[in-house]
Amino acid sequence: MKVLLDLQYLNVATTGIKTYMMELAHAALAYPHPDIEWVFSHDPEEQSADQTFKGPQTKIHRLNYHMDYFRWKEFQLPDLIKKHQPDVLICADFVSPAASLPCRRLTVIHDAFFWQMPQNYPKWWRTYFLSLIRKGLKEDTEIITTTEYSRKSLYKYLKKIYPMTVIHQAPKKLANGVDPSFLENHGLKSQQYFLHIGTFDKRKNLPLLVRSFADFLKKTDSNFKLVLAGGAGQSTQMNDKPVVNELVAELHLQDKVILPGYVSDAQVRSLYENGFGYVFPSENEGFGIPIVEAMAFGLPVIHSDQPALMEVAGQAGLAVKTGDQQDLTEKMILLSSENSRLETMIEKGKEQSKKFSSKNFIEGFQTVILKN
């Protein structure tokens, strides 16, 4: 069985989809199956390192990228299929070619955000991208998604019922080593800060986290800090970074809320290994990779009761009512004051994180690939 994995999108992917595609490619190589031959459209490391369409962009630059993406999906990828003649095509970035293909398609649709939160995307771009998604869902297509929550959400919005399988993904494998100076440079002490890593998208509810942390400091008189690592939201509509910056200044938390921007693997590892707790108040997620990462490092997790996060955390996290500032503050206080609860959460979290291994991830795909 020959399988072609489309990795073109790695040249711009920066968030969870990048992790998904890289870990899928790595797992395919690490856990080969005797009945499956993998063909990659691109070398994953080289494609990920391509800077052609990354960084600050003009309108012309963005337009050139969209044209490049369209050419790939609708012309170059079908040509590659003719060349390699795979039995299965996997597109892990929502979009499969609109052209008729002589092979099965496994299209990964990670979440239903484009339907659920239209206000977070430029209207023209959302219309265009949804059109690409729908045109690629044809012939012998099976959808792969990340959680039961995403599966149910997609069935609600897709006009046609497609076979759909949930495969839980694996988190990114962080490079070995830590950055010994990173914590010191930001005035951080081990076990003395709450952590969040990710973009400042509006759905992440980071202004709520800042307000809850301010209340936490007032009620506990502690020396804790809050680290919000990551870059701006993915579009002007989605970006809450300016709101967070203004809120930090308004609440006089400049010395308490640390905003280091994008962080390297070594810095991420340093943050996870020395943090007190991970806080994930997001109002909508398709999966929630940081929950698995944090738990694997022995970091207790406070998360919203959003369905995907509840599914990924199992019974190992401390759930708060989504959007409830007071509840979040109370859970942060609870975590900081009950050592027995803390220890139990750490142990449960380590066990829960083992379910999301690279081996389990690729075996999910192998089962789908070989079932017909």
CATH number at residue 112: 3.40.50.2000
> Which residue, chain included where needed, has tokens 């790595």?
26
Return the structure tokens found at 358.
């690279």
pLDDT given for residue 33 in this prediction: 97
Which positions of the chain have pLDDT values less than 50? none
Number of domains in the chain: 2
Taking all residues of the chain, what is their mean pLDDT, rounded to a whole number? 93
Specify whether 267 is located in the same domain as 149: no
Q: Is the separation of the CB atoms in 208 and 281 below 8 Å?
A: yes
The pTM of the whole model exceeds 0.85: yes
Say if residue 164 is in the same domain as residue 262. no
**In angstroms, what CA-CA distances link 50 with 20, 34, 54?**
18, 32, 8
pLDDT of residue 65: 87
Boundaries of domain holding 133:
2-170+357-370
For the stretch 54-63, pLDDT in tens is 765 788 887 8
Q: Please give the Cα distance from 117 to 104 (Å, whole number).
A: 30
Is 316:301 a contact under the CB 8 Å cutoff? yes
Residue 175 placed within a domain: no
| Strand spans (E) along the chain | 2-6, 37-40, 88-91, 104-108, 141-145, 164-166, 193-197, 225-229, 257-261, 277-280, 301-304, 318-320
The per-residue pLDDT for 53 is: 80
CA-closest candidate to residue 205, choices 320, 109, 126, 294: 320
Query: Do 19 and 148 fall within a single domain?
Result: yes
